A and B are shown apart, each in its own frame.
Chain A
Amino acid sequence: LALRSVNSCRSAYGCVLFSPVFFQHYQWSNSVKMNDNDLTVSNLNCKLGMKSILPIFRCLNSLERNVEKCKIFTRSDKCKVVIQFFCRHGIRRTHNVCFQESQPLQVIFEKNMCSNTLMIQPRVLAEAIVLFTSSQEEVTLAVTPLSVCLKSSSDEPMDLTSSVYSEMFVAPDEFDFFQIGVDSEITFCFKELKGMLTFSEATHAPIAIHFDFPGKPMALSIDDMLLEANFILATLADEPSRTSSPQSLCLSQKQKRSDRLGSNSEAGKNVTSKAPECIQRKVAPKRLYPKETLTDVSALENHDSPRMKRANGDLSEVPESSVSNTEKVPGSLNQRKFSSMFFGAVSSDQQEHFNHPSDSLATASDSEEDMNNGGFSTF
């Protein structure tokens, strides 16, 4: 089971893969109407609205107290996912969520090729996070072979009303794995890091952070036996003049349809070279911009256009001078290359019928208006 999401300005992508053993019972039946072409694999690929599904798993505490079993199954003939909670006292709660078919959104990112890799227990990172106020949008991670520093990022000149500038040094020996190939300072969105951290605290597995230089996306990943999660975040490029036209990330040439899973590392390399992962940033620092290789070639392309309702309204704030692509994301979707996931843990036999022990869905945050982590406690 793969759950994927990308935020509306395409600066953050999350994917969580659940292996069948995560569930008590995982069953996939072949008799699905839509698989009437003869692809060797037949998956159910669909998308659900966040606002439909998050409220179902919202109150984690009450779910844990009351729900004995959770069953999720799909009715392909009805384009619906049914989520059933079998609660105490014989109560059964059923939610029907309609879905739309869509091609999976996938990203190529060779995390193993990054020069810098850190692995750290989530609690350690969580301690660092409390230093930063929620009003700070971005944080900067600065690494050298001898030190790691997490600091608040702001390029506006400081004044009396600014937020506090905070920084925290973490010694290399606090990391489970520490490999720094190149000194680097990357800046990325704080909110997404918080979201990922909440998820990782639930899994108790260490978080691996893979990154290179500013501008290149970074990956946060968790890998334990039952699931594998990857969150790919855009980082701020080191642009001397911010209003200059960015090299777009989506000017990669149009490609044919989806590569399947089981990706090829060449495709990965191709993409990284062709689509410079610059992210445009407005002078008044706001959101990070679309990162590399995020594409979505689907039959329903227009439907996949990101919801433009971010609270910040960044996309609309983009200066005129910039190249058009990155902002008008829907348009650029057509340009984008479809890239496939890089980890092989994904089984191509995605099953339809599955039982799901009462556990929260892991989803990357989407727009700012959506609850950051529906089922998780918020910071």
Chain B
Amino acid sequence: MEVVVQAQCPGPSLSLPAAGVSNMVAKLAKACTLRISPEKLNFIVSDKVANGGVSMWCELEQENFFSEFQMEGVSAENNEIYLELTAENLSRALKTAQNARALKVKLTNKHFPCLTISIELLSVSSSSRIVTHDIPVKVIPRKLWKDLQEPAVPDADVSIYLPVLKTMKSIVEKMKNISNHLIIEANLSGELNLKIETELVCVTTHFKDLGNPPTARDAAARDRDPAQMAEVHLDIRRLLQFLAGQQVGPTKAVCNIVSNKMVHFDLLHEDVSLQYFIPAFS
């Protein structure tokens, strides 16, 4: 089992998304799974009780980031590697790669399996400096792989494009002070509402003209009244965790709502695709 990955002059292209993803994962859960396959890299957080049932699936196509990518999985038929690691460790290590000249990632075994990240930096005094980080990992045995597969995209009642995430985040942050229980609802006319209701006060933020993705509109042939809202009751903290992890605005952001069941966020950041599932309050 082997992984050797190399990127030359990655600059912002690698470090930003990868660091951004690992940063986001670090905010969401302590441990995450890194799946390495010949074509892509996945960051996986599965719906453990500790996360409140939230799960995340993130995918990067390796050829968009690495100049050299070599891997050898567990076996020929199962040419994949699943590693468990502490997300924060990875995000810290990648942070130092911000201005790196070159980056190399290798799976090593130094008393303990590690993901070794070697970074060649250009220092202030213009000389080259090599930094190495050994991140402890645990290799996940094949029998557990089935729990870590890509979650099926749910059959949504409503699909809608999200408003600017930053705005959403600041609103949700304020709402959190009032109540933990948030209702998110949207319809096929491009309207999305965030609501909180308490005995004393109700606050609703209305977003209009957001647009609905084409697939949703086709499904609208399923005579669903475009004005009808599909709603889900969420724990506001889960939503906030998700929003807080989005540092950079995505290229595309879609929200799929399965009435009273869950919310599915589907984001695309440059070449990184991210899916986030928040279940409804049970």
Contacts and interface: CB of A to CB of B under 8 A. Distances in A.
B89 A163 contact: yes
B127 interface: yes
A124 B124 contact: yes
A127 B124 CA distance: 8
Nearest to A163: B89
Contacts of B75: none
Contacts of A158: 110-112, 114, 134, 136
Interface string A124-167: 10010011010000000000000000000000011111111111
A171 interface: yes
Contacts of A169: 129-131
B85 A160 contact: yes
Contacts of B137: 160
Interface residues of A, number: 24
Contact of B131 (A124, A157, A166): A166
Contacts of B130: 168-169
Contact of A168 (B89, B93, B129): B129
A165 B89 CA distance: 10
Contacts of B125: 121, 124, 174
B133 A161 contact: no
A224 B230 CA distance: 69
B61 interface: no
Interface in B83-98: 84-86, 89, 92-93, 96
Nearest to B130: A169
B228 interface: no
Contacts of A127: 121, 123-124, 129
Nearest to A161: B86
A208 B130 CA distance: 22
- Main secondary structure on chain A at its contact with chain B? loop
Contact of A160 (B84, B123, B124, B132): B84
A157 B121 CA distance: 29
B112 A159 contact: yes
Nearest to A162: B136
A174 B124 CA distance: 10
B135 interface: yes
Nearest to B84: A160
Given A169-B130, A170-B129, A164 B111 contact: no
B132 A167 contact: yes
A167 B119 CA distance: 10
A119 to B, nearest CB: 13
A123 interface: yes
A377 to B, nearest CB: 19
Interface string B125-155: 1011111111111100000000000000000
Contacts of B31: 160
A162 B86 CA distance: 9
Interface string B36-58: 00000000000000000000000
Central interface residue in B84, B85, B110, B135, by most chain A CB within 10 Å: B135
A168 B96 CA distance: 11
Contacts of B84: 160
Given A166-B93, A167-B132, A160 B86 contact: yes
A165 B127 contact: no
Contacts of A166: 93, 131-134
B105 to A, nearest CB: 13
A173 interface: yes
A198 B89 CA distance: 25
Contacts of B121: 127
A358 to B, nearest CB: 28
Nearest to A120: B125
Contacts of A168: 129-132
A165 B138 contact: no
Nearest to B90: A164
A167 B123 CA distance: 15
A31 B128 CA distance: 59
B92 A164 contact: yes
Interface in B210-253: none
Given A124-B123, A130-B96, A159 B136 contact: yes
A160 B89 CA distance: 10
Given A131-B131, A157-B111, A171-B128, A164 B93 contact: yes
26 contacts: A121-B124, A124-B125, A127-B124, A130-B96, A131-B96, A133-B92, A157-B112, A158-B112, A158-B134, A160-B84, A160-B85, A160-B86, A160-B137, A161-B136, A164-B133, A164-B134, A166-B93, A166-B134, A167-B131, A167-B132, A168-B129, A168-B131, A169-B129, A170-B129, A171-B128, A174-B123
